[in-house]
A = this chain, B = another copy of it.
């Protein structure tokens, strides 16, 4: 085409300006989504669509545009544009992309076009002539998209001699004729209900211009002598050359009409609106000899693979990582790893259930930091921390959301610093921190340091936080601080995941999830959801439903109290092997994910794969079922009694005192009775 650009008066053989593929950022984004969520490893060809326009300003290349809408075959074509239907070949690997048999793909497409010409289908639906192919490989780790575009064009058996070289329409038609053509074209579009006609027939004399659909050619061309006139919606801007769509139309014309007519007059219909004034006068018109193709049965050879930016035959690559908003890029990238799990390994994984869950982390220490990190890895977007401690110098090496800087001048509050760090790791997360205390049994709330009012506000705040989240993680460093959230979460039917560390032991567990209130109002239990008779009635304990599972306190024989008083340093800190918190934190999140994936969620039965589940639970598991009842009846007044009392209050309430007495009595009896000792 450089010849034209250089002012060459025009060749004596017809040449065509090829399409430039114009693949919008939106297209690649949508391809990414399709690949991740739908295609996954499927390499089967996919139908897509593009469009082209005949009203571009001079200087713009003819473009076949694919946008985000390319994957929606029922999406409307933009106003005044012509549709083109394509086939997407998206490979799983760069190697497959490179190895794709492009000759074969082109031949297949050419054959389809040829068949539609021979069968007449293209006369009924001329869009069948507008085929394209798109071979792609999406490197979603780097946001590099490799592609090779092809607009297949059947070749006429010989190059096409020009009978009359291209001239502007205004040199051939009178203004009146031009106006009549405009009107006739618009009317036909309107009648047909299409935004544009890619191919049409034209008949004119000095007084009138008529246009018609291809399928009516027989009637329409009646009375024509040696030549007919055809119109093509032309995306090309060049004064001397038609655009690519004409090629397949000319083959159709040669096949259909070369037996009746010697030549064809071609009107490259170009339709531009400049400063509010529409004009088609810059359309070009020329006449070519029609090659004899009426009876050739074989598909002609075809061309159409696009040259790359260097002008050679080769694929192109776009690097979208450079032009994408980094934060959005981060979000997509994070999704990628998660969605890869669904491609092959766990196709049934319901990621939405995980990603959308709102997690409340009580404790932002060693466990809290590791749980938060694992939640981020799973794509959880809503994470809230509660902690009342400040970051100390020993924390950063074990608590992976903090750094040395956070320890200076007394240390930042952990809950706030943890939330800030999550934002720094991944700006798309919705992380909040609450620097607050959790009232605890045996830690009086009527002292000088904690007033009753403060405790009441803390309880209310905690109730609101638990209410507004889906899963509550207990990640504190004392036993008694887990008590209140256990009770509130049980009352609000929230899934509780509990993790606690020893030196080289840990516990990671879910609490039982009591049946919804309307159903289970008769139950006695707190997070201890079932009356003893209920369990005793079932003979086998192989599969315990989620609503019958206990909580952290169910098997305890000592009520929670102040465990921090009178402790040596190594009893105050959780002294544990450094790797343990990572293991327990990770398992806690994996447990949550597994529970969420179960169709019954928190009501999922406990797995029976472990033989120990076949043993009936001991009666100790079912003791303190009076707590939730009291909490729901008396609210904060009951809680205040618990906070201010020593162990004995809760132990009296739950019958543990009685149990201790009985056990002691039993032990004494045992020892005196056992003669072998």
Contacts and interface: CB of A to CB of B under 8 A. Distances in A.
Interface of A: 40-41, 92-93, 95-96, 139-142, 321, 326-327, 329-330, 332-334, 336-337, 340-341, 343-346, 370, 373-374, 376-379, 392-394, 396-398, 400, 402-405, 407-408, 424-427, 503, 565-570, 572-573, 575, 577-580, 582-583, 585-587, 589-590, 593
Given A92-B569, A321-B393, A333-B393, 13 more contacts: A93-B568, A95-B566, A141-B392, A329-B393, A330-B404, A337-B394, A343-B568, A343-B570, A344-B570, A379-B397, A577-B590, A577-B593, A579-B589
B392 A567 contact: no
A370 to B, nearest CB: 7
Number of copies of chain A assembled together: 2
B393 A326 contact: yes
Nearest to A379: B397
A405 B421 CA distance: 12
Contacts of A578: 374, 377-378, 586, 589
Nearest to A344: B570
A580 B345 CA distance: 15
A373 to B, nearest CB: 5
A393 B582 contact: no
A503 B575 contact: no
Interface centre among A337, A565, A572 (most CB of B within 10 A): A337
A554 to B, nearest CB: 26
Contact of A569 (B141, B398, B403, B590): B141
Contacts of A397: 334, 373, 376-377, 379, 425-426
**Top 4 A-B pairs, shortest CB-CB distance:** A377-B578, A579-B586, A333-B394, A333-B393
Contacts of A374: 578-579, 582
A340 B575 contact: yes
A400 B400 contact: yes
Contacts of A424: 403-405
Contacts of A405: 424
A337 B93 contact: no
A585 B139 CA distance: 28
A336 B403 contact: no
Contacts of A566: 93, 95-96
Given A578-B377, A582-B583, A92 B403 contact: no
Contacts of A567: 93
A565 B589 CA distance: 34
Contacts of A141: 392, 394, 569, 572-573
A566 B585 CA distance: 36
Contacts of A398: 337, 376-377
A598 B247 CA distance: 80
Contact of A579 (B330, B426, B590): B590
Contacts of A336: 394, 569, 573
A330 B569 contact: no
Contacts of A142: 392
A425 B396 contact: yes
A393 B573 contact: no
Contact of A393 (B330, B345, B346, B569): B330
A377 B395 CA distance: 9
Nearest to A328: B393
A326 B407 contact: yes
B582 A370 contact: yes
Contacts of A570: 40-41, 340-341, 343-345
A321 B394 CA distance: 12
Contact of A583 (B392, B425, B583): B583
Contacts of A400: 373, 400
Contacts of A370: 582
A585 B142 CA distance: 26
A579 B397 CA distance: 19
Contacts of A376: 397-398
Nearest to A576: B341
Given A579-B377, A589-B578, A326 B404 contact: yes
A350 to B, nearest CB: 15
Interface centre among A346, A373, A569 (most CB of B within 10 A): A569
A292 to B, nearest CB: 48
Nearest to A343: B570
A75 to B, nearest CB: 27
Contact of A580 (B326, B340, B408, B586): B586
Contacts of A341: 503, 570, 575, 577
A345 B568 CA distance: 13
Interface centre among A93, A344, A589 (most CB of B within 10 A): A93
Nearest to A142: B392
A337 B575 CA distance: 7
A403 B503 CA distance: 31
Contacts of A582: 370, 373-374, 582-583, 585-586
Given A41-B568, A41-B570, A566-B93, A426 B396 contact: yes
A572 B337 CA distance: 11
Contacts of A378: 578-579
A49 B585 CA distance: 47
A330 B407 contact: yes
